[in-house]
Amino acid sequence: MTLSKPPPPGTVAMSEVTSDERQLAARNHGFLTEALRYPTTPIGMHYLLTHYDVPVVEPATWSLEVGGLVEQPVSLTLEEIKSRPAVSRRVTLECAGNGRMALQPRALSQPWGIEAVGTAEWTGTPLRLLLDEVSVSDAAVEVVFAGIDLGIENDIRQRYERSLTLAEALRGEVLLVYAINGQDLPPQHGYPLRLIVPGWYGMTNVKWLSSITAVDQPFEGYQQGHAYRMRSVADERGTALERIRPRALMAPPGIPDYFTRYRSVAAGPVTLQGRAWSGFAPIASVEVTTDRGETWLEATLEPQPDRYAWVGWMSQWEAEPGEHLLGCRAADADGNRQPLEPEWNLGGYACNAVHYLKIVVDPTSPIAVHRP
Ligand SMILES: Nc1nc2c(c(=O)[nH]1)N[C@H]1C(S)=C(S)[C@@H](COP(=O)(O)O)O[C@H]1N2
Ligand SMILES: [Mo]
* Torsional sign, CA 120, 126, 128, 134: negative
Question: 335 in helix, strand or coil?
Answer: coil
CA separation, residue 225 to residues 82, 163, 207, 303 (Å): 33, 10, 19, 38
CA separation, residue 310 to residues 95, 168, 252, 301 (Å): 15, 21, 17, 11
Q: What is the structure's pLDDT at 2?
A: 45
Q: Is the CB of 64 under 6 A from ligand 1?
A: no
Return d(Cα 2, Cα 292) in angstroms, integer: 22
Percent of the chain residues topping a pLDDT of 90: 93
Q: What pLDDT, in 10s, does the model give residues 111-147?
A: 999 999 999 999 999 999 999 999 999 999 999 999 9
Q: What pLDDT, in 10s, does the model give residues 89-99?
A: 999 999 999 99
Which band of pLDDT confidence, cut at 50, 70 and 90, is reported for residue 4?
low
Is residue 277 within 8 A of residue 296, CB to CB? The reply is no
Return d(Cα 138, Cα 223) in angstroms, integer: 26
- CA angle 51/57/63 to nearest 5° reads 105
Q: What is the structure's pLDDT at 362?
A: 82
Q: What pLDDT, in 10s, does the model give residues 103-120?
A: 999 999 999 999 999 999
Q: What pLDDT, in 10s, does the model give residues 233-265?
A: 999 999 999 999 999 999 999 999 999 999 999
Tell which one of 176, 178, 207 to mutate to probe ligand 1, the residue whose CB is within 8 A of the most ligand atoms.
Answer: 207
Q: What is the CA radius of gyration of the chain?
A: 22
Q: What is the structure's pLDDT at 5?
A: 67
Q: What is the structure's pLDDT at 330?
A: 98
Q: What is the structure's pLDDT at 12?
A: 82
98 has which bridge partners? none
C-beta neighbour count of 201 within 10 angstroms = 24
Q: What is the mean pLDDT of residues 283-309?
A: 97
Q: What pLDDT, in 10s, does the model give residues 57-90?
A: 999 999 999 999 999 999 999 999 999 999 999 9
Ligand 2 is an ion; residues with CB less than 5 A from it: 49, 95, 202-203
* Cis amide prior to 321 (ω within 30 degrees): no
Q: Residue 124, Cα to own-chain centre: how many angstroms?
A: 19
Q: What pLDDT, in 10s, does the model give residues 167-219?
A: 999 999 999 999 999 999 999 999 999 999 999 999 999 999 999 999 999 99
Return d(Cα 251, Cα 347) in angstroms, integer: 28
pLDDT(368) > 80: no
Q: What is the structure's pLDDT at 3?
A: 46
Percent of the chain residues topping a pLDDT of 70: 96
CA separation, residue 200 to residues 73, 184, 207 (Å): 27, 23, 14
Q: Is the CB of 159 under 6 A from ligand 1?
A: no
Residues near 176 by Cβ (< 8 Å), separated by ≥ 6?
64, 81, 124, 125, 126, 127, 130, 193, 194, 195, 209
- Separation of 168 CA from ligand 1 center, angstroms? 19
Ordered DSSP codes for 147-168: EEEEEEETTEEEEEEEEEEHHH
Ordered DSSP codes for 50-75: -SS------TTT--EEEEESBSS-EE
Instruction: Please give the number of the atom of ligand 1 that sits closest to the Cα of 190.
Output: 20
> Mean pLDDT, the chain, as a whole number?
95
Q: What is the structure's pLDDT at 365?
A: 57
Question: 189 in helix, strand or coil?
Answer: helix
Q: What is the structure's pLDDT at 226?
A: 96
For β-strands 311-319 and 268-277, DSSP reports them as: antiparallel
Q: What is the structure's pLDDT at 15?
A: 76
Residues near 157 by Cβ (< 8 Å), separated by ≥ 6?
150, 151
Instruction: Please give the number of the atom of ligand 1 that sits closest to the Cα of 188.
Output: 19
Helices (H), the chain: 19-27, 78-82, 127-134, 166-169
- Separation of 43 CA from ligand 1 center, angstroms? 15
